[in-house]
Amino acid sequence: MGRKGVICFIISLVMVAPRAFGASSLEEDVRQISTELRCPVCQGLSVADSPSRMADQMRDLIRERLEAGESPEAVKAYFVERYGEWILLAPRREGFNLLVWVLPFLGLTGGAAALLMVLRRWKNHPAPAAPSVDPATLERVRREMAQDQS
């Protein structure tokens, strides 16, 4: 391999290495950020999944900001500043938003504990025995039933 071959090999290695070692491409970053943001028009969809014109514009803006050198966190912060926390599909796990992540688990745990307590009470308290009937009353009821059948 000549000197030109070695130089070509090194240049190709330099171009391929960032991709091979996990450096993400611009389009991957755009896709990742747009999956975390809510579309203001389609509200139930992410910007990545929304077919709306607004989502197209938001994806273009994400791409422009990343090309300008902003970090993905800075791009998301821009949208949060502009639209509020609502724009994030998954609320941040800090401050008041932490309740959104914690309360469902606490509710499930509390419900399971209450159910367990009720089941244990039912198990520990058998049904009361039927009251005893005196023989005279029992005989009277039998005679009345026999008369009704005849």
Tally of structural domains, the chain: 2
> How confident is the prediction along the chain (150 residues), in pLDDT tens digits per residue?
677 766 766 776 666 655 555 446 889 999 999 999 999 998 789 999 999 999 999 999 999 999 999 999 999 999 999 998 889 887 766 676 677 777 888 899 999 999 999 888 888 887 777 888 898 998 999 999 999 887
Name the pTM for this structure.
Answer: 0.51
Residues 75 and 102 reside in one and the same domain? no
Domain residues for the domain of 81 are: 24-90
Domain assignment present for 86 = yes
What number of other Cβ atoms are within 10 A of residue 52's Cβ?
Answer: 14
Structure tokens at 105: 């688990």
Q: Do 37 and 86 share a domain, yes or no?
A: yes
**Neighbouring-strand partners of residue 88:** 37
Q: Which amino acid is at 61?
A: L
User: 3-state DSSP call for residue 8?
Assistant: helix
pLDDT recorded at residue 80: 93
State the amino acid at position 76 in one-letter form: K
* pLDDT at 22 (0 to 100): 46
